[in-house]
Structure 1
């Protein structure tokens, strides 16, 4: 365990040092831009997340360069028009930065455009030099990170996805076993058990799928099937909610016949989950196993799922017949849904095309969505207020830093909005601490490092 804990820091240190040393060896200024790219990509969970973030960082950098070039070319001599048009661009970028699929690219586009405009000082030659340097450094950082993290102990998004599904299946199995015990001992189903998946789990599955699509050929080639599995996981939330509602409506104890029917359907559902756990566990523990080995293992270890009948619940004449019928119908639907999930899971892992079930394509979304998100609009308003206050401070108050106030306020503001659950005081405290450490580094350490190998060893 302790050995694994050192793997990540060593990989980050290697990629960081490699990017800085190469940038200095090539004579590029601001090698820390390459280091930033490495640090940002390292703050992710898997290779797929890192590669996706690196791709978005490059796309955002190119977009930021184009924005800066166009604004300076068209409005370089018109300050008011420049600020108004750039405010519109800021509004669009901030509105889009909460998009879970490509929001990071919008954030980087805004930051890079601001950096180039401010550091280029609206000069054509200086702006071009800063833009070219930013592109070079960013691409270098992404290449160094991708090389180190792909070669040395890579963390597969596919394995993390399978582990997440495995953990969820084990949790479901435990809940079902507890429900069987409750029926046998109390002749009732516990109302304190949540049968639905949390929204956090569903969001994580979607995030891992997008990441695994980037770094896993198996996931990418069978992505429609994985999307179907994700959608079926979402359907489980609705069925779980209906099941909990039905349980809350049942006040009387189950009869012996009803107990037997419920135990039969819960046992069938538990066995389906055990089969999923068996499959996922084998694939996680043997990632290089062939399809023949997986099939043979499942033939030897798959449990038989016995049929069941719920007539005693569906045809009950008691006053709570409606609740019992809802309970029976939802349990039957959950059993069928889990059978479908297991079938699709097997198809996805073995890379087999679905034979019976046709995958429905989602309707393509419109290029422009007329509906507006009020929370995003509030974030846009906040950033525009911050931007214009910083512009006013730069223009009318002679303070140290000058136009850098605009750059820092825009960058820090957009970052703070992307971390809605972190307090500004927390961010400010960490900024001050790390700024002090960086200042001591520049004053007391770096002036004594005269050789490139010394600098590389230090980092």
Structure 2
């Protein structure tokens, strides 16, 4: 019997290979775009989340293409004006990337705009061809991913939601038992930490119910009921947290009275009964919060921090453009392209990722380059290329299945494509210079971003 992680790794590898084979069959020049789409979609926890990301990715691709056309049409003749407007767009994309609903679409629109303006070389025909190709590859990746994940060992949003719900209810019941008597301050602190983790799980439940629920019959047809369950779980966790908070003037936490505990246990019992019985309504739960209130469960970046991140993207990309113009950096347009994409992507992520990202880049690139130099030049058949990508993607997803290695999974999947992209051309080529230059540029950009990120740390709250 295959484990969940093995099944998931197989699905990613199958989708990855199919997207490459179909791209080459259709004669498309950049099959790695479809493959990267598979990697991005597969990095989400559920099929519903992937569908949301797919929709945002498509919206961002369309928006980025339109912005690129406007930039090329009106500003391509004036270098300083083009760069100035481009930097403003980078700042706007960084600020809007923190939007809880469409943040990914804003970031993707800037990335697509960057790729089209850079690779298109300001030529109208080339840029238009790039736009069409990008849309084709993105759609192909989405369709392949959807078909494979829908019919091969499907793992629906519904299954994940009810697994989380059962886990949350069990934890809340355990906490009620622990609070039956007064507990020490140390135990109270531990309980507060556990409740914080439980509230994170409830935040995930809220997020899941806001995802596309196609194929999730119970969730889509009883949405209000499961929203009520999520709200009730959060209210119970809040009450338990109130009683677990330590009182510094006493040796124990605030003692829960029998009435308080009875009320919490009664609400929890009604909740558990409602979950077991689909026909049982949730009107007796006496909720004090609305569904809108739960959107605040997920931590939101403050406006001040968002503005600082936007400003840092503006400065980082501006410095990289200056270095590219006045210093002879190898790689033609690749340096400003990579610096723009990495600056906006990293500034919209949690701080402190530069060092882990650099470590992941080095570790994965060494293995991939060894394969690229000593193995791939001997490939003469398509099935050999497919087997190479299948084994690598399967190994990455299977070995890096734990949350602690999520960065290896995401970056490793991308680097398998980026460092070997010349092998995916309609006429394959194997030159070590291109991947080595790419790696040198990546580490140079990491250094620049790290410098400005450390410089801006005192500004954040």
Q: Which residue of 1 aligns with 2:412?
A: none
Kindly indicate whether the alpha-carbon contact (under 8 Å) linking 1:72 and 1:122 is maintained by their aligned counterparts in 2.
yes
Q: Which residue of 2 aligns with 1:60?
A: 60
Q: Secondary structure at the match of 2:385?
A: helix
Kindly indicate whether the alpha-carbon contact (under 8 Å) linking 1:243 and 1:327 is maintained by their aligned counterparts in 2.
no
Structure 1 CA distance for aligned equivalents of residues 359 and 246 of structure 2: 50
Matches within 5 A, 1:26-425: 26-180=26-180, 183=181, 188-189=182-183, 191=185, 192-193=187-188, 194=191, 196-198=195-197, 199-211=199-211, 213=213, 215-245=215-245, 327-328=257-258, 330-335=260-265, 337-338=267-268, 341-342=271-272, 345=275, 349-350=278-279, 362=292, 373-420=303-350, 422-425=352-355
Question: Larger relative contact order (C-alpha < 8 A, sep ≥ 6)?
Answer: 2
Q: Which moved more, 1:401-410 or 1:420-429?
A: 420-429
- Report how far residue 357 of structure 1 moved: 7.4
- Report how far residue 241 of structure 1 moved: 3.0
- Report how far residue 10 of structure 1 moved: 1.4
Structure 2 CA distance for aligned equivalents of residues 83 and 23 of structure 1: 33
- Report how far residue 239 of structure 1 moved: 1.6
Show CA shifts across 1:223-280 (max 9, x none).
3333333233332343223323598877799xxxxxxxxxxxxxxxxxxxxxxxxxxx
Kindly indicate whether the alpha-carbon contact (under 8 Å) linking 2:18 and 2:144 is maintained by their aligned counterparts in 1.
yes
Q: Which moved more, 1:446-455 or 1:166-175?
A: 446-455
- Report how far residue 14 of structure 1 moved: 0.8
Q: TM-score scaled to structure 2, two decimals?
A: 0.72
Q: CA RMSD in A?
A: 3.2
Q: Which residue of 1 aligns with 2:387?
A: 457
Kindly indicate whether the alpha-carbon contact (under 8 Å) linking 2:94 and 2:309 is maintained by their aligned counterparts in 1.
yes
Q: Which moved more, 1:74-83 or 1:89-98?
A: 74-83
Segments of 5+ residues of structure 1 without an aligned counterpart are: 254-322, 366-370
Structure 2 CA distance for aligned equivalents of residues 437 and 361 of structure 1: 48
Q: Judging changes above 3 Å, is the alpha-carbon distance between structure 1 residues 100 and 350 closer, same or farther for their aligned structure 2 residues?
A: farther
- Report how far residue 133 of structure 1 moved: 0.9
Q: Which residue of 2 aligns with 1:435?
A: 365
- Report how far residue 43 of structure 1 moved: 1.2
Q: Which residue of 2 aligns with 1:15?
A: 15
Kindly indicate whether the alpha-carbon contact (under 8 Å) linking 1:213 and 1:223 is maintained by their aligned counterparts in 2.
no
Structure 1 CA distance for aligned equivalents of residues 279 and 340 of structure 2: 48
- Report how far residue 177 of structure 1 moved: 3.4
Q: Judging changes above 3 Å, is the alpha-carbon distance between structure 1 residues 378 and 251 closer, same or farther for their aligned structure 2 residues?
A: closer
- Report how far residue 68 of structure 1 moved: 0.8
Structure 2 CA distance for aligned equivalents of residues 15 and 176 of structure 1: 45
Q: TM-score scaled to structure 1, two decimals?
A: 0.72
Q: Which has the larger radius of gyration?
A: 1
- Report how far residue 48 of structure 1 moved: 1.3
Q: Secondary structure at the match of 1:153?
A: coil
Q: Judging changes above 3 Å, is the alpha-carbon distance between structure 1 residues 389 and 421 closer, same or farther for their aligned structure 2 residues?
A: closer
Q: Secondary structure at the match of 2:155?
A: coil
- Report how far residue 40 of structure 1 moved: 1.1
Q: Which moved more, 1:25-34 or 1:65-74?
A: 65-74
Show CA shifts across 1:320-376 (max 9, x none).
xxx77x7455435424543564466467x449696997996749x9xxxxx961111
Structure 2 CA distance for aligned equivalents of residues 86 and 169 of structure 1: 49
